[in-house]
Amino acid sequence: MIPLEDTYIENRILVQPSNTNNHEIAHGGNVVKWMDEVGAMSAMRFAGRTCVTAHMESVDFHEPIPRGNAALIEAYAYEAGSTSVNIHLRVFSEDPLSGECKLTTESHFVYVAIDEDGDPVPVPDLEIATDRAETLKAVALGEESPQPVEEQWSD
């Protein structure tokens, strides 16, 4: 069994002019690309194998990310099937000077573990055995906190 907490990955990308549209906000396609990359890393950490994107639920854009802010992407597994893993993804606009974060984008992606021939292979079970894991799963299911998960554990 793989503990849910072990699948948690976050990354920050400074939104540069080349990442923006005509309104000087992060282009939605770039945001989805960043989500997919971080989500795949979380899925591979869980599965211990190469994982490919199989499905994306609706990607909800709540707020823009202005040029000069960081896109804080967080991803972690919250459910697993026999060969697939569901990854919860959220993106925050983070002011690099103040650290203030605002939820901008969220979705759930499904990744499938594959072997060298590209065929699906089994994944381990996901363990949800701690308070932190319970909180992460609750966030993934929409039952908790709009703030970045790591802020809840920074004390």
67 secondary structure, DSSP code: T
Query: pTM here?
Result: 0.91
Task: Say how far apart CA 77 and CA 56 lie, in whole Å.
Answer: 14
Average pLDDT over residues 106-134: 96
Task: Say how far apart CA 32 and CA 145 lie, in whole Å.
Answer: 22
Nearest Cα neighbor of 1 from 146, 125, 129, 142 is 125
pLDDT-based confidence at residue 150 (cuts at 50, 70, 90): low
Task: Say how far apart CA 127 and CA 110 lie, in whole Å.
Answer: 18
Q: Per-residue pLDDT for 109 more than 50?
A: yes
Q: Per-residue pLDDT for 81 more than 60?
A: yes
- Which CATH superfamily hosts domain 2-144? Hotdog Thioesterase (3.10.129.10)
Quick one: pLDDT at residue 144?
A: 72
Q: pLDDT tens for residues 24-41?
A: 999 999 999 999 999 999
Quick one: pLDDT at residue 153?
A: 46
Cα dist from 42 to 62, 75, 82, whole Å: 23, 6, 17
Quick one: pLDDT at residue 143?
A: 84
What is the domain partition of the chain in residue ranges? 2-144
Q: What is the widest separation between alpha-carbon atoms in the chain?
A: 47
Q: pLDDT tens for residues 45-76?
A: 999 999 999 999 999 999 999 999 999 999 99
141 secondary structure, DSSP code: T
89-108 burial code (b ≥16 CB/10 A, e <16):
bbbbbbeeeeeebbbbbbbb
Quick one: pLDDT at residue 155?
A: 46
CA 109 to chain centre: 8
Q: What percent of the chain has pLDDT over 90?
A: 88
CA atoms within 13 A on the CB side of 127: 8
64 secondary structure, DSSP code: -
Q: Per-residue pLDDT for 79 more than 50?
A: yes
Residue at 92: amino acid letter:
F
Task: Say how far apart CA 24 and CA 131 lie, in whole Å.
Answer: 40
Q: What is the mean pLDDT of the chain?
A: 93
Q: Per-residue pLDDT for 113 more than 60?
A: yes
